[in-house]
Structures are given as structure tokens and as C-alpha cells.
Amino acid sequence: MSGPKTHSWIEGLNVYTAGKAKTKGIAKAVKLSANECALGPSPMAVKAYTDAASNLHRYPDPAYSDLRAALGEKYNIEPDQIVCGVGSDELLRLACHAYLKPGDEAIFPAHSFSMYPIAIKSVGAKPVEVDDVNYRADVDNILNAVNDRTRIIFVANPNNPTGTYIPSSEIERLWENIPDHILLIVDAAYAEFMNRDDYDAGIDLVKKSNNVLMTRTFSKLYGLASLRLGWGYACREIAQTIDKIRDPFNVPSSAQIAGVAALKDTDFQEKVLDHTTKWREWLESELNKLGLKVIPSSTNFILFKFEDPAKPALDANNFLTKHGYILRYYSDQGLGNFLRLTIGTENENREVITLLKKFLEE
């Protein structure tokens, strides 16, 4: 007997590969593989989360009113144009569900977030990867790939896993040169770490468009990765469309309450930003001194390449893992000789450099 048969595009779907959290034989390995906050969660968010425990028997606010109001106030945007989800990943999938069908195409740059092709394929559409340039999204390459089947374009800005960004003028040039029926998704998961004058997370573009969705997350700067809280901002029509197809109670009360508190915890935000900037610069300098090729980052992680064939990234990854440090090794995405390092605590950062130096000198 045979059971139910799924769609052909589901059968061949890859499962998202997360950064490793454990290594055999080491009880407390240092996880620097998932771009998590080096300083932990926002203390104000922790207190709010703990205080919410007595109401676990209540369903969450299905409209996440307080969270949308807090986001609207912080970013000076319209709360009724905000959608929230189980991480920004859910919003990416919902956008594909809403705007793609079998036979449609969606474009994304090479060396970008691996959830894009998974979300695209999950609805039977075709993922179209275009070349980047110097590990940055290239607007001309994206535009050259647009055809009458294109329905969505994904651009992560800043980008994961490269850490690079493109200026807001390039994002706007992309938007100005695509038809209105194509949805441009600006994935700004790392926007909080940006301090460049030529950068905008996508808010200004959303305000003057009817075909742009900006997505954000509480997992990075705010340290709430385990709560899986993300949000998006778009014109009312797009926001209402996504709202129609999400689960009615998709964001738990605890996540909503912690998110509101985290937005208010500006002291913690500044502390994380100062720490990230300081140690990103230090790590990039030290990695360069070791002769490794560093991709300049605007995020809380650094991608770097092993160019000596006698000292490949795989061996470095195994060496670090054996000593209790887990980085992100890419066996695919054209990054087979790279490692990605999440910025950790001072001691963790120093120890990673010490271990890398030892590996390269052996």
C-alpha cells in the first residue's frame, strides 16, 4: 500500500541547515555559528518574558496590537502596515505563498540567505540565482534576470552570510526598474548594526511604493533568537494579504511582550552595538594579520577565506570544533573554503584568534 503523495516540488525540497550548536565529546562548546547576540538577551525583555508566565493559559493577542504600536512609535511607521511572524523566515514563506505559484520565478543574489530558494520551491516556483560581484548583490545582474515569469525579488541588505551591503540608492534603482507587479523583498535582518549614511533599511522605500516588503527580526541586536519573533512593513494591501494567510495566533504572548520590552531597552541596544563594532574591527584586523581573506562586514559576523590549499577551511573548522569552538562552515553556496564567525564575548573572540593562529602555524 502507498500513502498520500505530495507535490513533486515538495519531494525534492531541502531542509534548512542551521548553524551547529553541539560537538561530540565537548559538553559546553562555544557556539559562534548562528549570528546570535554576544551579550545575551535584553534584560528588560527577560523580565517581561518571566512576568508573562502567569498568563500562559491565555491565547495571544491575534493582532499583536501592543507590539505593532511599539514598532510604529520607534520607527515612525503605520502600525496597520506592520505584520509579525515566527521569525522573519515565516514572513518570507508567507510572501511566497501569497505571490508565487508553479511556473513563476523568484530572483535572489548568489551567496545569500539559503531560506530563499527553500521558500520559493515550497510553492512550486522556480528559484533564479544571479551572480553577485565581490560578494555584494549586483543590481544589473538582478535586472538582467527579470522576465515575464518573475514575481518576487529577494535582496538581503546587509547580506547573510557575506556581511556586505549595497547603498539605498542601488536598492532604489532596482525598484525603479522593475514592473509594479513584482514584489521586492528587502530582508533587513541585520539593519540595526548599520551606521552608514548611504544605507536605509527599506522604510523610506516602502512609504512610497506599492510593491516592497521590508522584513526585520528580534533575533540579532535584541538577543531574542529563541522566541522566533520577526516583523515586516509594507503597503496596506501587501500587509493585509499576508495577514489573511498567517495562522491566527502565530506570535505567542511571551514573544510579543518581550519584543515590546526589548524595543524600550535602549541602554542594552547601545551596549550591543558598541561591543559589536569594537570586536568586529578587532577580529577583522587579527584575521587579516593571519593572512586570511576577510570580507568586510557590516553585521555581527565575519566571513573569511582560507586561500592556502595546505590549510583549507574544512581542516580549520575541524580543528576549532575539536577545541570546543563551533563556527559556520559552508560546504555549499560556493563558499567551500570560507568560515563564518559570529562576534562573541571578548574571551571568545581572543580564543578563536589564538586557535586559528595555532592551526595555521602547525
What digits encode the pLDDT tens for the residues 98-136?
999 999 999 999 999 989 999 999 999 999 999 999 999
Would you say residue 18 has pLDDT above 90? no
- Cβ 183 vs Cβ 152: under 8 Å: yes
- Closest Cα partner for 174 from 152, 197, 207, 196? 152
Would you say residue 48 has pLDDT above 70? yes
pTM for the full predicted model: 0.93
Question: In the structure, what pLDDT confidence band is assigned to residue 362 with cuts at 50, 70 and 90?
Answer: confident
Work out the average pLDDT over 311-338.
Answer: 92
CA distances from 359 to 282, 290, 354 (A): 19, 11, 9
Provide the CA 102 distance to its chain's centre, in angstroms. 26
In the chain the domains, ranked by start, together with CATH numbers, are 19-40+267-361 (3.90.1150.10), 43-264 (3.40.640.10)
Work out the average pLDDT over 74-88.
Answer: 96
Cβ neighbours of 177 (radius 10 Å): 12
Would you say residue 332 has pLDDT above 80? no
Cell of 240: 493585509
- Cβ 342 vs Cβ 18: under 8 Å: no
Q: Mind listing the pLDDT tens digit for each residue in 292-304?
A: 999 999 999 999 9
pLDDT at 202 (0 to 100): 96
Would you say residue 77 has pLDDT above 90? yes
Rounded (10°) CA dihedral 128, 129, 131, 136: 120
Find the distance separating the first CA and the last CA of the chain, reported in whole Å: 58
> Identity (one letter) of the amino acid at 288?
N
Percentage of the chain beyond pLDDT 90 is 89
Would you say residue 8 has pLDDT above 90? no
Rounded to an integer, what distance in angstroms lies between the CA atom of residue 73 and that of residue 78? 9
Strands 126-130 and 183-187: unpaired
| Better pLDDT: 9 or 64 | 64
Query: Concatenated DSSP letters for 131-157?
Result: --BTTB--HHHHHHH--TTEEEEEEES
Would you say residue 26 has pLDDT above 80? no
Would you say residue 23 has pLDDT above 70? no
| Better pLDDT: 15 or 92 | 92
Provide the CA 43 distance to its chain's centre, in angstroms. 23
Contacts of 265 (CB under 8 A, 6+ apart): 42, 43, 44, 45, 222
Quick one: 145 exposed, middle or buried, by C-beta within 10 A (0-12, 13-18, 19+)?
middle
Q: Mind listing the pLDDT tens digit for each residue in 221-233?
A: 999 999 999 999 9
Work out the average pLDDT over 75-83.
Answer: 97
Q: Which residue has the cell 510579543?
A: 256
- Mean of pLDDT over the chain: 94
pLDDT at 7 (0 to 100): 77
Question: In the structure, what pLDDT confidence band is assigned to residue 331 with cuts at 50, 70 and 90?
Answer: confident
- Cβ 337 vs Cβ 331: under 8 Å: no
Percentage of the chain beyond pLDDT 70 is 96
DSSP annotation of 290: T
Would you say residue 9 has pLDDT above 80? no
- Cβ 302 vs Cβ 343: under 8 Å: yes
Question: In the structure, what pLDDT confidence band is assigned to residue 257 with cuts at 50, 70 and 90?
Answer: very high
Q: Mind listing the pLDDT tens digit for each residue in 144-162?
A: 999 999 999 999 999 999 9
DSSP annotation of 76: T
